Chain A
Amino acid sequence: MSRLDKGGLIDRAQTRRFTFDGEYFEGFQGDTLASALLANNVKLVGRSFKYHRPRGIVGGATEEPNGLVELRSGARREPNTRMTTTELYDGLEAFSQNRWPSLDFDVLAINGLLSPFFGAAFYYKTFMWPKAAWEKFYEPAIRRAAGLGRAALEADPDAYEKSNAFCDVLVIGSGPAGLSAALAAGRSGARVILAEEDFEFGGRLLSERTPINDAAPTEFVAKTLAELRALPNVRLMRRTSVVAIYDDCYAAVERVGDHLRTPEKYKPRQILWRIAAKRAVLAAGALDRPIVFGGNDRPGVMLAAPVQSYVNRFAVAPAQRMAVFANNDAAWTTAFDAHDSGAEIAMLIDTRDAVAPALAEAAQKRNLRVILGGEVFATKGKCLESIEIRANGHTERLAVDGLAMSSGFSPNVALTCHHGGKPVWDESLAAFVPGKCPPGLHVAGAAAGAYALSDCLAQGAAKGALAATEAGFQATAPDTPKTHDTPRALKTFWHVEASKGMAFVDFQNDVCAKDIVLAHQEGFVSVEHLKRYTTMGMATDQGKLSNVPGLAIMAKQRGKTIAETGTTMFRPPWSPVTLGAFAGHHRGKDFRPARLTPTHALAEELGAVFTEAGPWLRAAYFPRQGETDWKQSVDREVRAVRENVGVIDVSTFGKIELQGPDVGKFLDRIYINTFSTLPVGKARYGVMLREDGFVMDDGTTARLSEDRWIMTTTTANAAKVSQHLDFCLQVLWPDLDVRAVSVSEQWGQIAVAGPRSRGLIAQIVDDPAAISNDSLPYMGAVETSVLGGVKARIFRLSFSGELGFEIAVPAHEAEQLARKLLETGAEWDVTFYGLEALAVMRIEKGHVSGPELNGQTSAADLGFGRMASTKKDYIGAVMARRPALTDPERMGFVGFKPVNPKEVLRAGAHVLAQGAAATTANDLGYLTSATVSPTLGGAIALGFIKGGAARIGEIVRAWDGVRGTDIPVEICAPAFYDPKGERLHG
């Protein structure tokens, strides 16, 4: 056991049992999976991405590149989970990744021996020939060998949510700077949100020992939290990572249930927060960085600052006997803390030739062996067994099972760059510090490069007060507590060039120093090219450790400074976000809200099969007993309408009511045809164009009274047309007095069609005379009542081509109306029909619909050329006169039927001349809608052909390269059924 006897913020009274690769372990409440494994002396935790080298835990938080596991099992299995951020819970199951057959013995570790061949871009260079083998052989083989964890194959059983929060000041991070900022802002009365990525507030204060106000730093944390908790205007959010800064808002992920075996019932696993904050203080701290030297990836080699965390926060000595290898004072503090806790520090190696006397004294006081001007150039052991040190011309091998390394800290500047700002290189810190920040964002403490504890406390307080003041509150920075600062001196050092063995820059992507040298030799010298060529800085850690050392090596190759070579762009998210969090409630059948027609419940009772039509759930057809496939049902429904009477809910059409003195004038400008002359009580079919001259939508508009009109749009274009009318009325012609309101929801509309439709409606309309042929002729509209006093608008319209009526009633009455039609019509065998039968009938009639109104067709193409008025201006009128839109060779709307009536046509087929090769140059047109017509007893189709109606009678081919058919077809008029429309007048 490596657990220290005392100390730490773990609760030793609460044991937490868990398994790793099936083996049983115990840890404590307050552990992470990483600290618990280290406490159990588990050093080997994974295999590397490319070379399958044994790897151990390196870091202590979100930066961890190696300690990635598959967490949980079954449907909850989550790959590439960082064990350093995984809170230990009872029953936790974790599995190492990227190894076979076992973590201890991994066959593909042979890749490590072959590493001289596996340099940067190895795959690109090696598997180029033969080309065909890439997809068939190379890629699948490489994919099996590479890749990390496996995602669950089942649907995620947990819930995710999205939520919104608003505040004056958002504080990101709860270390010394963040706590002070929150306190300063909170005391002013500003609404404050304090977001902490960890499961405990306190940041580095949990991992360090420097007293604040003569007490342990954790006491300062507790006291500050107590005050913040007492402020009603402060909201404390732990387990919450602010992952991105967008325009005017911050995105954060709260891990509500990740620390539990399964989320609490009815609680989500995670919440994606959209936080609108007037100001923010970034106090995200800084991360320690590795030194690049031979064998620096051996399990047991760790970063110094995380080692300090394991010792102080988790009471774990990560090794029995450790050495420290660094270029800075901070790593010495790690050595001191570890030593003081009872861990053995065998040697302290510093690349500097001299350090401050106080530091040397402190080491001497502890009897630590210090090597100045030294470097570690090699390591040995599957897990670390020894290191080789070179100093002053001598070398020494030292037996250790742990090495804490540090090349200095990198402030966590990522969020400051999300608006395109570039961080700035600070040579004295050997680090990038924030450059131009997103508006409203202040940076404090280590994230700003101010590492000293007193600076963190003071800056946090000042920036917190500033943020609150800018947000409109009177805030003053609280007094800075009394503390002292540990030394932080540093001398730039990145790379032990005279190393033995592979010297890793990026542990997660297996990128070595030599790969960067190679990238330089091959001309990939820009930092962005370097990243893509070597894959340095990709995957879950996004270069949090590798970025700066890698850039330093490249800069040296180029003979430039890091300031000159710059850094790659930091993009959201700061840490990985589960896709489920982005989806929230909107997954599976809740992907988008489903709209229901007013008669949905009745359709369900009648056994309808539903289909999605945009957001709508619509009845596709109503199967009856004995019918074995959908076409039987549809054919029966079509026959019923053609021969008897059918009923369908058409409420999904867009309906816009227009009132006011200028409606007629307005409609004349919207439609290609004239409406101002439409008499009261009449409806007219209209076509509207976009301003570019192509058709936008079609539908009927009726005049109900002198200045009250009702427009219908297609279901699909209801919102688009509404927006178009808003534009025309508000922007183009605000002088017109037209009041337009969408009444799509208000009116439930039931179409009754067929030779016996009038008879059926006569049973339900309160005044049967209102629907006689005289009072309601074809294209008539009347306001009347049905079912004994229910207000109704009846239109004599037909999409099916039969005598037809559409009855609009307030939507909450529509179900009652439909039930009455069903009940009254029972003796006539009234048939409810669905969208499929409607589609068949409209193709039989050659009516255009969505497939024909495809944004590429003009009114003339669709056969509405003569409808277009030449006496007025309307939207699209001028552009529709362009030569290309009036070219007689344009594709025009026609029908098609197969020469052999037994052949079936499919929409999407292209039209070719007989004998012509299937080339783009020979393309004559295409089929938009096709069906097998029960009325005509064969396949029919609608579509477009060059030259249009002039070619009726010609035989051409419907060529379908996707389905592999090539069918001779005859071009015909689009109206296959009752072309003169005699049945409409029944």
Chain B
Amino acid sequence: MLIPCPYCGVRDAQEFSYRGDAMPVRPDPAAPDAEEKFHDYVYLRDNPAGAFKEIWHHSAGCRRWVEVERDTLTHEIKATRFSAEGRRA
């Protein structure tokens, strides 16, 4: 599988390390239900068959965390962006 890295260009997936679902956001540790929120953040992951936003670390390239919109059934990649930017968007 090829992943278009926003910095390096199209690269083989072997150069990337997979982390998974891009959507979980680190909860506020001061919140009263922080423990429950962190439990969900650490352990609960969507694993959809189809469109998915996930993050990959380009560990053998530019070392950027990249958010990848991928269809898990076809491996078609719709878009990629630097991870922090995706989160702000």
Residues of chain A whose beta carbon lies under 8 Å from any beta carbon of chain B = 246-249, 276, 439, 691-692, 719, 722-723, 726-727, 730-732, 734, 873, 877-879, 881-882
B77 to A: closest C-beta gap in Å: 9
What residues of chain B lie closer than 8 Å to A877, measured between beta carbons?
29
Question: B45 in the interface, Cβ–Cβ < 8 Å?
Answer: no
B47 to A: closest C-beta gap in Å: 18
Out of A246, A276, A719, A873, name the residue touching B59 (CB < 8 Å): A719
What residues of chain B lie closer than 8 Å to A732, measured between beta carbons?
26
Out of B2, B27, B83, name the residue touching A248 (CB < 8 Å): B2
Return the CB mask of B19-59 against A: 1 if under 8 Å, else 0.
10000001101100011001101110000000000010101
A–B complex contacts, Cβ < 8 Å, 18 sampled: A247-B1, A247-B2, A248-B75, A249-B2, A691-B38, A692-B42, A692-B43, A722-B63, A727-B19, A727-B57, A731-B65, A731-B84, A732-B26, A873-B30, A878-B29, A878-B34, A879-B35, A879-B38
What residues of chain B lie closer than 8 Å to A878, measured between beta carbons?
27, 29, 34-35, 38
**Would you call B35 and A248 a contact (CB within 8 A)?**
no
**Would you call A881 and B87 a contact (CB within 8 A)?**
no
A550 to B: closest C-beta gap in Å: 30
| Bound-state Cα–Cα, A723 to B18, Å | 11
Knowing A246-B1, A878-B34, A879-B42 touch, does A731 contact B17 (C-beta < 8 A)? no
Residues of chain B whose beta carbon lies under 8 Å from any beta carbon of chain A = 1-2, 12-13, 17, 19, 26-27, 29-30, 34-35, 38-39, 41-43, 55, 57, 59, 63-65, 74-76, 82-84, 87
**Would you call B82 and A730 a contact (CB within 8 A)?**
yes
> Smallest CB-CB separation from B43: which chain A residue?
A692
| Bound-state Cα–Cα, A734 to B65, Å | 12
| Bound-state Cα–Cα, A732 to B25, Å | 8
Out of A692, A734, A881, name the residue touching B35 (CB < 8 Å): A881
| Bound-state Cα–Cα, A882 to B55, Å | 27
| Bound-state Cα–Cα, A217 to B54, Å | 53
> Smallest CB-CB separation from B86: which chain A residue?
A731
**Would you call B83 and A730 a contact (CB within 8 A)?**
yes
> Smallest CB-CB separation from B75: which chain A residue?
A247
What residues of chain A lie closer than 8 Å to B43, measured between beta carbons?
692
Per DSSP, chain B at the interface is mixed
**Would you call B38 and A730 a contact (CB within 8 A)?**
no
Knowing A246-B1, A726-B63 touch, does A873 contact B75 (C-beta < 8 A)? no
What residues of chain B lie closer than 8 Å to A246, measured between beta carbons?
1
| Bound-state Cα–Cα, A731 to B27, Å | 13
What residues of chain A lie closer than 8 Å to B2, measured between beta carbons?
247-249, 276
**Would you call A730 and B65 a contact (CB within 8 A)?**
yes
- Contacts A726-B65, A731-B83 known; 15 new A-B pairs at CB < 8 A: A248-B1, A248-B2, A439-B76, A691-B41, A719-B59, A723-B57, A726-B63, A726-B64, A730-B64, A730-B84, A873-B30, A877-B29, A879-B35, A879-B38, A882-B35
| Bound-state Cα–Cα, A731 to B53, Å | 14
| Bound-state Cα–Cα, A881 to B17, Å | 29
| Bound-state Cα–Cα, A577 to B64, Å | 36
What residues of chain A lie closer than 8 Å to B42, measured between beta carbons?
691-692, 879
What residues of chain B lie closer than 8 Å to A691, measured between beta carbons?
26, 38, 41-42
Please provide the 7 A-B residue pairs with the shortest distance between their CB atoms, ordered closest to farther. Answer: A247-B1, A734-B84, A873-B29, A248-B2, A878-B38, A247-B75, A731-B83
| Bound-state Cα–Cα, A254 to B41, Å | 48
| Bound-state Cα–Cα, A879 to B42, Å | 9
Interface centre among A439, A722, A731, A873 (most CB of B within 10 A): A731
A694 to B: closest C-beta gap in Å: 11
What residues of chain B lie closer than 8 Å to A692, measured between beta carbons?
42-43
**Would you call A726 and B35 a contact (CB within 8 A)?**
no
> Smallest CB-CB separation from A248: which chain B residue?
B2
A346 to B: closest C-beta gap in Å: 55
> Smallest CB-CB separation from B39: which chain A residue?
A879
What residues of chain B lie closer than 8 Å to A722, measured between beta carbons?
63
